[in-house]
A and B are shown apart, each in its own frame.
Chain A
Amino acid sequence: LAKTTQPISMDSYEGQEVNITCSHNNIATNDYITWYQQFPSQGPRFIIQGYKTKVTNEVASLFIPADRKSSTLSLPRVSLSDTAVYYCLVGDAWAGGFKTIFGAGTRLFVKA
């Protein structure tokens, strides 16, 4: 299973765009990249998943370069409520055995 490396913490201000980069040098051909968000006293919540290039949904964008050895989660115009821990995961999304390694995550703190 590919291991991921991401910054331990980041600070931002309301209204700014936040980019969190995740390194996954040993990503395998079948691996997908998934990001989760976790608020205090809650379980993680799925944000976005991608395989290559760019994926966008109503919450975030995910940028994946051609070599797929890293990925960047982009949160547009963050607000105070985006303060949370963000986890980058890499794993084979085969339905029968989706084993995941969450790692320590990136703690994002959004200031007013």
Chain B
Amino acid sequence: DVKVTQSSRYLVKRTGEKVFLECVQDMDHENMFWYRQDPGLGLRLIYFSYDVKMKEKGDIPEGYSVSREKKERFSLILESASTNQTSMYLCASSSTSGSYNEQFFGPGTRLTVL
């Protein structure tokens, strides 16, 4: 069964802290994505990666960076957390083969920045 896991379900950090959110997929997918979800706004794409060490900005990359050193792992980094980054963060992966490019999502990390 396909699986995307995220390092934490809930995380509480203080303003100014450096925050790492980890995502691991076991499906050998080429593409990986980071979204944030806020009430009334749906999911917004932060960054995505289509290969190891490759990354592209999504719609709201400001305040975030990413790292993909291995194919199965995609990390989201908040260099200096701020209260407006309190949100649900969702990781997803997809394959470049197959007919649907379906994205598989992890359970999400609810981050609170105090």
**Looking at the complex, which of B67-75, B76-84, B104-112 is the stretch in contact with chain A?**
B104-112
B8 on interface, CB distance cutoff 8 Å = no
Give the distance in Å from the alpha carbon of A41 to the alpha carbon of B109 in the complex: 9
Interface centre among A34, A44, A99, A105 (most CB of B within 10 A): A44
A99–B45 contact, CB under 8 A?
yes
- Beyond A43-B105, A44-B105, A46-B103, whether A95 also contacts B30 by CB under 8 A is yes
Interface centre among A34, A87, A99 (most CB of B within 10 A): A99
Contacts of B105 in A (CB 8 A): 42-45
How many chain A residues touch B (CB < 8 A): the figure is: 23
Partner of B31, one of A44, A98, A101: A98
A93 on interface, CB distance cutoff 8 Å = yes
A42–B96 contact, CB under 8 A?
no
- Beyond A43-B90, A49-B100, whether A87 also contacts B43 by CB under 8 A is yes
Contacts of B101 in A (CB 8 A): 32, 93, 95, 98
Contacts of B33 in A (CB 8 A): 100
Give the distance in Å from the alpha carbon of A99 to the alpha carbon of B103 in the complex: 11
A62-102: which residues lie under 8 A (CB-CB) from chain B?
87, 93, 95-102
What is the chain A residue whose CB lies nearest that of B44? A102
Contacts of B64 in A (CB 8 A): none
Give the distance in Å from the alpha carbon of A16 to the alpha carbon of B97 in the complex: 36
A1-50: which residues lie under 8 A (CB-CB) from chain B?
32, 34, 36, 41-46, 49
A43–B94 contact, CB under 8 A?
no
- Beyond A87-B42, A98-B31, A104-B41, whether A46 also contacts B100 by CB under 8 A is yes
Give the distance in Å from the alpha carbon of A96 to the alpha carbon of B96 in the complex: 7
B90–A97 contact, CB under 8 A?
no
Partner of A100, one of B40, B45, B104: B45
Residues of B bordering A, CB below 8 Å? 4, 30-31, 33, 35, 40-45, 48, 50, 56, 58-59, 90, 92, 94, 96-97, 100-108
Residues of A bordering B, CB below 8 Å? 32, 34, 36, 41-46, 49, 87, 93, 95-105
